[in-house]
Structure 1
Amino acid sequence: MSTSPTEPATFADKAIRYYNSLVSPTNLPVGVEVMNSFQAPDVQRIVGEFYTKFFNDTDPRVFLLGINPGRFGAGVTGISFTTPQNLRRYCGIDNTLRDTPELSSRFIYQVVDAFGGAEAFYERFFLTSLFPLALTKDGKNYNFYDDRATTNALWPAITEAVRTQLSFGANRHVAVCLGRKNETYLRRLNDQQGFFERIVTLDHPRYILQYKAKDVPLYLEKYIATLQDCLDEV
């Protein structure tokens, strides 16, 4: 949704413009590949509808930052931690994309549901990643930190990606890091750039469902309590 020349650009305006113009890096090590779903017309429609529905204002959000998208979540839909089926079920956005399995999305939308639903959640928070495009190697999900050459190749792009996403409308007082290993890199980035005053870290959704499934209720409580503490702080 566009604004008139006299109106400030909304969070949605900035996000839609950014994601639909993303270009894949060309400097990655041999064997590491990029999925850029944002070039697909179906995904561009989804991105436009999602951000217009939930972010059509200029209010700042608390950022929750993951690693980089998985090939079955944002790698398909363009929406962080969101599979096609969760896009329909929780966000009310119809799509004809094939349903995909992703543990991270399953847990995240338990959090969204526990927080009061997508509208209540996205009114206060923004889910994103340090690097906005899905990476794969040998047909499997790959993280930007899985080898040093990939990390070094992407570090300038990661820095610029976070900087640009903050311009959508970020609350700089606190950010939530998703993933203990991811914390190392977000803190390094923050030490270099001073993006946030404080960072709090939660266990990654995939780790929770893959290794701590019996403790999901406890992790949900931890997530909700942490998110509420962030809101109380800002």
Structure 2
Amino acid sequence: MLSNKITDFLFGLQFPLELRLGVEVMNPFSDAETARVVNVFYNKYYNDDNPRYCIVGINPGRFGGGVTGVPFTDPIRLEKECGIENSWPRKQELSSVFVYDMINAFGGPEAFYRKLYFTSISPLGFTKGGKNLNYYDDKILAQRVIPFSVESFRKQIAWGLNTSVAFCLGEGENFKFLSKLNLEYKLFEKIVPLSHPRFIMQYKLKTKDVYIEKYLREFGQL
């Protein structure tokens, strides 16, 4: 089952290289509550062998996937939208708000996760000085992420994921990095960029529905 392959992958994640001073790896999967929730989530939505299309984010953040272990899913959305009770403080994460508004417009979590699978350039997150750090914001980190990223993608693709198209969250640095990676390592046939949920919620909130419609148009072509 795909659910078992995903959880085995996540629980086995380790960043293979030393990081520069002040940069720390964020690995939520060693936490008992996160492990429980991750098992429940993937057994609920991925307990089959159907191929999915990838949506590729940056790396987990501290208040969404960095807590719950489920990409773009904060503790509030985890319980309210996915029906998975959890013990974490009810902290909202902006990207998660957009993602679940979009998922509900798609037809709800069951319909969405039946076709699509969230992953990231780096499936582990990073912090510096206690704050989120995107891999591309540190040039040395960006270089050190490459072998980890390629190995992670190859492991995930080997499950039978659909590689005819992947969707990249972020039309700037993340898309540039993924495109370069893809050119060299031939991971996907095509990459479609989408505005990042955080960018939409922070800077384009008044036109959020326009962005949701764009997501749905792109996914509707699958």
TM-score by length of structure 1 reads 0.92
Aligned structure 1 segments of 4 or more residues deviating by more than 3 angstroms: none
Give the alignment partner of residue 186 of structure 1, picking from 178, 185, 194.
178
Which letter does structure 1 place at the counterpart of 2:57? G
User: Partner residue of 1:144?
Assistant: 135
Q: Which residue of 1 aligns with 2:166?
A: 175
The aligned length equals: 221
Equivalent residue number for residue 118 of structure 2: 127
User: How far does the alpha carbon of each residue in 1:182-232 deviate from its partner, in whole angstroms, 9 at most, with x for none?
Assistant: 101111111111111111010000000101111101111111111112x1x
Distance in 1 (CA, whole Å) between partners of 2:145 and 2:192 is: 24
| Matching of residues 1-234 of structure 1 within 5 Å | 10-180=1-171, 181-229=173-221, 231=222
| CA displacement at 1:158 relative to structure 2 | 1.1
* Contact persistence 1:61–1:170 (CA under 8 A): yes
Q: Distance in 2 between matches of 1:24 and 1:150?
A: 11
Shift of 1:26: 4.3
Write the deviation string for residues 94-133 of structure 1: whole angstroms up to 9, x where unpaired: 1111222211111001111100110000000001111011
SS of residue matched to 2:79: helix
**Contact 1:172/1:195 (8 A) holds in 2:** yes
In 1, Cα distance between equivalents of 2:97 and 2:157: 26
The structure-2 alpha-carbon separation of the partners of 1:200 and 1:50, relative to structure 1 and needing over 3 Å to count, comes to same
Identity of aligned residues (%): 45
Aligned AA (2:187): F
CA distance in 1, matches of 2:187, 2:180: 11
Aligned-residue RMSD, C-alpha: 1.1
- Judge conservation of contact 1:28–1:154 (CA < 8 Å) in 2: no
Residue 41 of structure 1, CA deviation:
1.1
Q: Which amino acid aligns with 1:57?
A: D
- Cα distance between partner residues in 2 of 1:140 and 1:49: 28
Gaps of 5+ in 2: none
Matched position secondary structure for 2:207: helix
State the 1:168 CA deviation. Answer: 3.0
| 1:60-111 Cα deviation digits (max 9, x unpaired) | 1010000001110110000001101111111111111122221111100111
Q: Which stretches in structure 1 are left out of the alignment for 5+ residues?
A: 1-9
Contact 2:75 2:92 in 1 (8 A): no
- Matched to 2:219, the amino acid is L
Secondary structure, aligned partner of 2:136: coil
Residue type matched to 2:56 in 1?
L
- 1:214 maps to a residue whose letter is K
